[in-house]
Chains A and B, each alone.
Chain A
Amino acid sequence: MIKATELSKSFNGVAGQKKRRVVAVESVSFEAADGRITGLLGPNGAGKSTTLRMLATLIKPDSGSATIDGYSVQNDVLAVRHQLGFMPHNAGIYPRLTTRENIRYYARLCGMDKRTTETRVDELVSLLAMEGFADRRTAGFSQGQKTKVALARALVHRPQTILLDEPTNGLDVMATRGLRDIIRALAKEGHCIVFSSHIMQEVAALCDEIAIISDGNISMTGSLNTLLQNTGQSSLEDAFVSAIGGEL
């Protein structure tokens, strides 16, 4: 369960240029419930990753607040991290370690003992159908394989809330469909899933709730049907353009 209220974040401009604050997120409020898949839909540079990074306790919001399962992302950082599985938009796995070693490393860092770790690694290998490459070093893996390893790693400590930053980037059709099934199954188990993407079809096909984000603000939230109704459009793409104030 995520509750974000008027989150804002700005960064210093690029070095070398005149000092100028760049507002990445101006005011983002949304809720994501357990057992549902919430899509954060927005164009590149809209503030999706910054929002997820604030929720993942990687950066602190300048103002506003957010809680994950009741824990504040500003004040209960370690508790939030226990609840949270975060997969950044680049897999970020260790190329010289095997699939199992990558997952095992995170399990052990989360404080799991050896035996629990091995059971959990086996579970994840079979859940994500990684038997074929479980004992290979991940250097040279396809994007789909890397994503699976990164997802397994994010899930290793059985987090209640799962944040996925553009997980389908670079995946082919079959890999995308496979990932969708996994995400749906996780939601069915009762996990709260937030999924960011700039691809309409992805969000339309997968998400129960959609939050449209542009220029650091949430411009509309609701289910796909609600969004279509509110904007009077027939496709998510048109609804999206209308929601962010563009011209059709």
Chain B
Amino acid sequence: MVLVMLWKEIIDNLRDRQTVFYALLFGPVLLPLCIGGALVAGLKQATVSFDEPSELAVQHAERAPNLVQFLRANNMDVVNAPADVEDSVRRGDVPIVLSIPEDFSTALREGQPAPLVIHVNDGDKQSSKEARKVSSLLRVYAQTLNALRMQHRGIDPSVFNSIDVTLQDVSSNGFRGQLLASLLPFLLIVAMVMGGFYLAIDTTAGERERQSLEPLLTLPLARYKLVLGKFLAVLVFVTLSSVLTAVSVFLVFRFFSPEMAGGELSFDAHTIFQAWLLASPLVFFISAVLMTVAASTRSSKEAQTYLGLLMVFPMAPFFILQFINIKSVGITMALPMLSQYQLLERVVLQDVINPAHIALSVVGTLVGAGLLLWGAIRLYSRESVL
């Protein structure tokens, strides 16, 4: 009978465009694409890659053949700059232009500082990124020249390097990494909530509003079976939504940034599967929350209001963990959602996870789900459910 109910709710709600849109499209596809895609693409844009060959427009390349040769050796395809240098950079026809003034080679020969001009549009991310890349290449070139000049005069170039600072980041993640790592639990949890949102409302408050609950309750059927049937239906949608999200997060990273799937942050299939597994007790918890809250309201509208407010909760850990450094002590590991956030972050950052923390997280989450479900059964056993 529970299965009959489950099957009916699934068929019924698959015919509801709103439910299908939010459960199978919004949470699992649109959200990872919009948030994840944008974030990854943004980070990628800010990252300078010296291995990728890129085109560099140079004005009067003939005035500095050695420099051009150096640039070519460093993956820059030197091309001739357009005639109206400033306008074409402003318009974005070329990201930047390196122009070589007439007195460049003279100054170089005389041992004077040789002038170079980079035309950049600082309002354009692509342009400033290119400028940063070229200036650092030029710095390397300048250092080589400096060394040659000093050796020519019989001075050891290292005399001028009085301090050698090395910055060693031990956190392996940093702010950017943290942000990216918390993206996975965020997307998974939001997708779970969105996945069950409309179904939970439809099977509880919606059923009451359509007045189909009254005849249903006169059937020879124990109330706990009725609640279980509805719960399982929500569970199926929540689970489906989370699986689809895991798949699309994997694809987003594959598509936008294959190099990120390998490094210190890991978004490969194994990691995402592991993360999903750690998050999976939440499908019970979130289904139970959605169901119990929706069941305690009088109408679909009221249910939407309460569940809408409740949507803040899955987002809260995301922001809290961004700004506050919570030590992973036992108590936070027993809290549903907060514990999954922390565990999933560590999986993505490839940190070591304490098995006791996993156990606490699973038990805490399942106990929470059980209590909520028991509350829903109590609600349905009361007369006021009608």
- Interface status of B212 (Cβ within 8 A of chain A): yes
Q: How far is the CA of A50 from the CA of B213 in the complex (A)?
A: 16
B383 in complex: contacting residue of A59, A86, A157, CB < 8 Å? A59
Per-residue contact bits, chain A 62-103, to B (CB 8 Å; 1 contact, 0 not): 000000000000000011011010111011111111000100
Number of A-B residue pairs having CB atoms within 8 Å of each other in the complex:
73
Q: How far is the CA of A109 from the CA of B222 in the complex (A)?
A: 11
Let me know if B12 and A109 touch, CB within 8 A.
no
Docked pose: A59 CA to B210 CA in angstroms: 19
Partner of B218, one of A86, A94, A105: A86
CB distance from A5 to the nearest CB of B (A): 21
A12 CB to nearest chain B CB (Å): 9
Q: B1-44 interface mask toward A, CB cutoff 8 Å, 1 = contact, 0 = none?
A: 10011001001110110000000000000000000000000000
A106 to B214, CA, bound (A): 13
Measured between beta carbons, the chain B residues less than 8 angstroms from A106 are 215, 219
| B217 contact set on A, CB distance < 8 A | 58
Q: Which A residues touch B13, using CB under 8 A?
A: 96
Contact yes or no, B218 A56, CB < 8 A:
yes
- Give the docked Cα–Cα distance between A84 and B221 (Å): 12
> Are A58 and B383 touching (Cβ within 8 A)?
yes
Whether a CB of chain B sits under 8 angstroms from the CB of A185 is: no
- Asked if A140 CB lies within 8 Å of chain B CBs, one says no
| Given A57-B218, A58-B214, A153-B215, A108:B4 Cβ within 8 A | yes
Question: Within the complex, what minimum Cβ distance (angstroms) separates B179 from chain A?
Answer: 41
Q: How far is the CA of A53 from the CA of B211 in the complex (A)?
A: 14
A91 to B383, CA, bound (A): 20
Residues of chain A within 8 A (CB-CB) of B222 are 78
Inside 8 A of B211's CB, which chain A residues have their CB? 88, 90-92
Whether A81 touches B218, Cβ cut-off 8 Å, given contacts A93-B212, A95-B210, is yes
User: In the complex, which of the residues A60, A78, A96 contacts B12, with contact meaning CB atoms closer than 8 Å?
Assistant: A96
Contact A58 B386 (CB under 8 A): yes
> Given A58-B386, A82-B220, A86-B215, does the pair A94, B5 have CB atoms closer than 8 Å?
no
Residue of B at shortest CB range from A105? B8
Knowing A109-B4, A109-B219 touch, does A97 contact B12 (C-beta < 8 A)?
yes
**Shortest beta-carbon distance from B264 to chain A in Å:** 49
- Nearest-neighbour CB distance to chain A for B139, whole angstroms, equals 67
CA distance A153 to B222 in the complex (A): 19
Q: What 9 A-B pairs come out closest when comparing CB atoms?
A: A81-B220, A92-B212, A92-B211, A108-B4, A86-B218, A90-B211, A96-B15, A88-B214, A82-B220
Residues of chain A having any CB pair with chain B under 8 Å: 53, 56-60, 78-79, 81-82, 84, 86-88, 90-97, 101, 105-106, 108-111, 137, 150, 153-154, 157
**Interface set of B (CB-CB < 8 Å, partner A):** 1, 4-5, 8, 11-13, 15-16, 210-222, 383, 386
- Complex A-B: 11 CB contacts under 8 Å: A53-B386, A79-B220, A86-B218, A88-B214, A92-B210, A92-B213, A92-B215, A94-B212, A97-B8, A101-B8, A105-B8
